[in-house]
């Protein structure tokens, strides 16, 4: 009888604990989603200005989105969007290649400088990247990459140049793939490149997807480096600089709701990228389990 009561008490305590955890997670999700919900509502708000007396808009309109893409004489949002998309795509492709190449080399190859390089990379990761932005700017200026159309090239170089140092997470994933698969392929006459492309890559889709998403988001949302390199060249502004410009005192009254609409618009490419790559993540996980 006592054992039965103890079992009932344990189940009751477990149920109460589960309820508390679920309530806590529900509260966190509401806190996390509230700013997003507010930005979306503001993007459809018909009233102008940043001072609002009600949480919900009194009138709803699509004019804020229309304004973003039509009133380009003051703030050219389509141009900024195109600049950011070009920079993000090229940076993503180059950075993904660098990260995967360095991580695979550190995981599979053995050479004398391997451990010292990993230690140096770990130490460098402790320092924020923006500490070097002044030096980076003067290097780019000396190379003639700080003016005109070369600003896009400069930003791509900045975002992708140091990507290889982010190899630790991908290396950890590559370490989980059995080396016996590589050795079996070598016995069949495969080269290292064939082993990487035919065996490692198909089993590494989750980490490739993670790398693609993170290397795309970084230039897409960056403000500091873009501000330093673009300076007053509004023609080459990214969306982060454009949205920041909308909040300046001479624009905020007329562009505040358009700023909210722009915030919604810049989330669309990231959402599309995640949806497109999600199936590769799932198939990669199932392939890794089967392997």
Radius of gyration of the chain (CA): 25
Tens digit of each residue's pLDDT, the chain (291 residues): 555 655 656 677 778 888 888 889 999 988 888 888 888 888 888 888 777 777 788 888 888 899 888 888 878 889 999 999 999 999 999 999 888 888 888 888 888 888 888 888 888 878 777 778 888 888 888 888 888 778 888 899 888 887 878 888 888 888 888 888 888 888 888 888 888 888 888 888 888 888 888 889 888 988 888 888 888 788 888 999 988 888 888 888 888 888 999 999 998 888 888 888 877 765 544 444 343
Q: 230 CB contacts (<8 Å, ≥6 apart)?
A: 151, 155, 236, 237, 238, 241
Report which of 39, 37, 35 is spatially closest to residue 261, judged by C-alpha positions: 39
Q: What is the pLDDT of residues 114-132, one digit of tens each?
A: 888 888 888 887 877 777 8
Contact present, 84 and 218 (Cβ < 8 Å): no
- The pTM (predicted TM-score) of the whole model is 0.81
Domain ranges of the chain: 75-290
Report which of 236, 232, 220 is spatially closest to residue 79, judged by C-alpha positions: 236
What gap in Å lies between CA 142 and CA 29, rounded to an integer?
48
CATH 1.10.3720.10 fits 75-290, yes or no: yes
Longest dimension (CA), the chain: 85
What gap in Å lies between CA 129 and CA 153, rounded to an integer?
19
Contact present, 247 and 259 (Cβ < 8 Å): yes
- Say whether 128 sits in a helix, a strand or coil: coil
pLDDT for position 3: 58
Element (H, E) at 217: helix 205-221
CA angle 258, 220, 62 (to 5 degrees): 20
């Amino acid at each position: 009888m006592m054992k039965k009561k103890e079992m009932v008490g344990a189940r009751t305590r477990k149920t109460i604990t589960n309820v508390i955890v679920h309530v806590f997670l529900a509260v966190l999700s509401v806190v996390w989603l509230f700013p997003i919900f507010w930005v979306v509502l503001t993007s459809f708000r018909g009233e102008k200005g940043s001072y609002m007396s009600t949480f919900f808009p009194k009138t709803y309109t699509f004019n804020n989105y229309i304004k973003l893409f039509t009133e380009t004489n003051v703030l050219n949002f389509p141009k900024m969007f195109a600049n950011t998309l070009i920079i993000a795509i090229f940076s993503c492709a180059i950075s993904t290649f660098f990260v995967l190449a360095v991580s695979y080399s550190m995981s599979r190859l053995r050479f004398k400088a391997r451990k010292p390089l990993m230690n140096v990379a770990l130490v460098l990761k402790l320092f924020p990247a923006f500490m070097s932005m002044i030096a980076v700017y003067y290097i780019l200026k000396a190379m003639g990459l700080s003016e005109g159309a070369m600003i896009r090239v400069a930003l791509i170089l900045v975002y992708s140049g140091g990507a290889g140092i982010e190899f630790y997470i991908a290396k950890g994933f590559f370490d989980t793939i059995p080396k016996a698969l590589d050795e079996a392929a070598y016995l069949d006459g495969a080269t290292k490149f064939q082993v990487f492309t035919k065996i490692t890559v198909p089993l590494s889709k989750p980490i490739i997807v993670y790398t693609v998403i993170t290397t795309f988001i970084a230039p897409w949302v960056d403000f500091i480096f873009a501000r330093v390199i673009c300076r007053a060249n509004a023609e080459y502004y990214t969306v982060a600089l454009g949205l920041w410009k909308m909040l300046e005192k001479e624009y905020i009254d007329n562009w505040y709701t358009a700023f909210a609409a722009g915030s919604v618009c810049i989330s669309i490419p990231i959402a599309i990228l995640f949806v497109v790559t999600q199936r590769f993540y799932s198939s990669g996980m199932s392939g890794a389990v089967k392997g």
